Amino acid sequence: MVSNKKRLYIALYPSGVVGNEEQKYHWGFLAGPKIEDEEEVLGMRYHVKNHPLHSWVFEECQVTNVKSTINLLARILIAKVEDEERLTAIFRNTPVVKDDPNWRCRTWVQAVLASIERDGRAVGTSNLSWAEIEPLGREYVGKKAERGRYAVSRIGNMNLPKPTWDMLEHREIVP
């Protein structure tokens, strides 16, 4: 019997910050089923966002299509989910820092990855190394941008599945 464990992805979005390479992308997580055969595949998004009135806030929400959320640039598959409740608890319990001007969404993502690794039971097969994930994500999205993947002329295709790299098998699964 083939396993149908949910998958955990790093999600990269444009941040809106221009001229600062470190802040070029907004980082978060997407979780969804292994099998994505339907046109729309329900999933969850977990991230922190910088709210104008409340500083950084954690957000968890269901998405109607985990393959193509609003503004998503790319997904990086990093883990097979073993215990979704444990994983959700890690997201919810990872601190959101409000009084440090250097704290960012990528700082939170790093902290979540470290917590998942320490926990040892929320995910199974995985690559949780921020030292590998961050440069791979930047390079992957950068190459897609260079090849015109996000060009305005492709706006009509915004609902198509976004580029997805599988870090577990070291291959692209959605171009």
Q: Where are the domains of the chain?
A: 7-170
Pairwise pLDDT comparison (138 vs 18), residue with the higher score: 138
d(CA 137, CA 145): 12
* Model pLDDT for residues 142-154, shown as the tens digit of each residue: 999 998 888 766 5
Residue % of the chain over a pLDDT of 90: 72
> Which run of H or of E encompasses 110?
helix 105-119
**In which band, very low, low, confident or very high, does the pLDDT at 170 lie, cut at 50, 70 and 90?**
very high
d(CA 75, CA 11): 5
What pLDDT was estimated at residue 111?
98
Residue 79, token pair as written in the block: 């883990």
What pLDDT was estimated at residue 51?
82
**In which band, very low, low, confident or very high, does the pLDDT at 1 lie, cut at 50, 70 and 90?**
very low
* Closest C-alpha to 170, from 136, 143, 145: 136
d(CA 33, CA 53): 35
* Model pLDDT for residues 84-95, shown as the tens digit of each residue: 999 999 999 999
What pLDDT was estimated at residue 53?
76
Question: How many of the other CB atoms lie within 10 Å of CB of 151?
Answer: 9
Contact 28, 105 (CB under 8 A): yes
d(CA 175, CA 83): 29
For the segment 46-68, the average pLDDT, to the nearest whole number, is: 92
The verdict on pTM exceeding 0.95 is no
Counting beta carbons within 10 angstroms of the beta carbon of residue 41, is it exposed (0 to 12), middle (13 to 18) or buried (19 or more)? middle
